[in-house]
Chain A
Amino acid sequence: MSVAMPETDERVLETGFDATIAADQRIEPRDWMPEGYRKTLIRQIAQHAHSEIIGMQPEGNWILRAPSLRRKAILLAKVQDEAGHGMYLYAAAETLGVDREELTEKLIDSKQKYSSIFNYPTLSYADIGVIGWLVDGAAICNQVPLCRCSYGPYARAMIRICKEESFHQRQGYELLLAMANGTDEQKRMVQESTDRWWWPSLMMFGPPDGDSPNSQQSMAWNIKRHTNDELRQRFVDMSVPQAEALGVTLPDPELRWNDERKAHDYGEPDWEEFKAVVAGSGPANAQRVAHRRRAHEGGAWVREAAQAYADKQAARKNEARKAAA
């Protein structure tokens, strides 16, 4: 649309866009927007959607082995929610002019990625609790500000998602409380799982602000509202009393209250590991993508059958209409 437009028109449109952002109003799908803004959003929303979809796998791993019908039903509902989150987000991405089918193909061809956190395996049932507590907890820190993101469809999808996330975090924490009040073996499982997930959860906020040049543009566009380090700090401060209530130790010797800053000091995550995991050498990376591909390709016949049925019904209706005329 902007291709054939004279330069001055484009400048008028850009001024309008800038004014909308400056007034902290929402940009809607049919509004003019700079190419960079559109591209950033497509990338972010698509990879966010992929993260929800891939995120079903580590937890889905435990549905059949959940220890009671109650826990099974809860976990099933939680994993189903994550599928829903993926769907809301693909719908938002499509308003920017990309095709959902195409995004799925980019995921299984590894041309688009998903969050590093889902490349870690779920080794014990306590991981189900810790994922709800820490991983969904970190996701909530990231997602709540996105409810005020400048792109309307993304912000609205995030509002739906955030409403559901609080169930995710609470069911995880409650599961851990049950185990923490259980046998010594169960207590050990909770501690062991916390030890494995704490650092990857901190890494969910991305590299330190100094190494995150892209964030500045996103903040200027009101897509991102807080820096990586601000959100990480918030998460650490929230988690410390929660860990205390559970009776687990967070595996960071440098973690302590800083009375001057009125916040906790904490150690530096291992960014080398982080880079390797995002790049795809995480413990479960190949498995996650292969599983998604298998599910997509294995489901092809169902989609084709549904299409064939729809075609047949449409043809029948047409004939009936002709016969009646």
Chain B
Amino acid sequence: MNTPDEEEVTAEGGHGAVPVTGVETGQGEKPSRRTWPLYEVFVRGKRGLNHVHVGSLHAPDDEMALHNARDVYTRRNEGVSIWVVKADDITASSPAEKDPFFDPSADKVYRHPTFYRIPEEVPHL
């Protein structure tokens, strides 16, 4: 730990200066108690739109997760419908967007409308 004198501070984050030295990150540490599962939260902004991922929270069960999601993520009518999903139940493709997982669609240009050449005088196409 640094003494207060040598502690380095800067304006990280929104409300200004905080120390940047002598701060533990807690990486790889496991909490001492059993903790609630992590839920990912998806909100439908209004009718006609898809649910969109907005963040996450912890809750003891599905129902509480839904209640907490309403309080945390829709305080100003940001949604008409909420999904909560346990993070552990989500199967995801691997990291980068350039990932081989997405390659099959990258080389299928014929899936895009611009692939097809149509004479200019043909309307509404």
Contact = CB atoms under 8 A, between A and B. Distances in A.
Q: Do A and B bind each other?
A: yes
A113 B13 contact: no
A128 interface: no
A115 B18 contact: yes
Contact of B96 (A31, A135, A303): A31
A48 B75 contact: no
A47 B17 CA distance: 10
Could you say which of B7, B17, B33, B35 has the most chain A C-beta atoms within 10 Å of its C-beta? B17
Contact of B26 (A51, A99, A204, A224): A99
A262 interface: no
A205 to B, nearest CB: 5
Interface string A21-60: 0000000101110000011001111111001100100000
A206 B16 contact: yes
A101 B11 contact: no
A269 to B, nearest CB: 11
A84 B33 CA distance: 24
A106 B14 contact: no
Contacts, number: 194
A88 B35 CA distance: 18
B19 interface: yes
Contacts of A44: 12-13, 18
A51 B14 contact: yes
A115 B16 contact: yes
Contacts of A139: 14-16
A203 B57 contact: no
Given A80-B75, A81-B75, A112-B24, A88 B55 contact: yes
A99 B32 CA distance: 11
Interface string B23-40: 111111111111110100
Interface string B47-73: 000000011111011001000000110
Interface string A261-283: 00000000000001110111100
B125 interface: no
Interface in A62-97: 77, 80-81, 84-85, 87-88, 91-92, 94-95, 97
Interface residues of B, number: 48
A47 B60 contact: no
B19 A113 contact: yes
A85 B15 CA distance: 12
Contact of B92 (A30, A99, A309): A30
Contacts of A88: 55, 72
B15 A135 contact: yes
Nearest to B94: A30
B29 A48 contact: no
Sorted from nearest, which 8 A-B pairs have the closest CB atoms?
A204-B16, A48-B13, A206-B11, A279-B4, A115-B15, A310-B60, A310-B61, A30-B95
Given A88-B72, A146-B14, 19 more contacts: A42-B26, A42-B27, A45-B13, A46-B25, A47-B12, A51-B14, A51-B15, A97-B27, A111-B24, A112-B23, A115-B15, A115-B16, A142-B15, A203-B16, A205-B11, A207-B17, A274-B17, A275-B9, A278-B18
Interface of B: 4-5, 7-20, 23-36, 38, 54-58, 60-61, 64, 71-72, 75-76, 92, 94-96, 98
Interface of A: 16, 28, 30-32, 38-39, 42-48, 51-52, 55, 77, 80-81, 84-85, 87-88, 91-92, 94-95, 97-103, 105-106, 111-118, 135, 138-139, 142-143, 146, 157-158, 160-161, 164, 203-207, 212-215, 218, 224, 228, 231, 274-276, 278-281, 303, 306-307, 309-310, 313-314
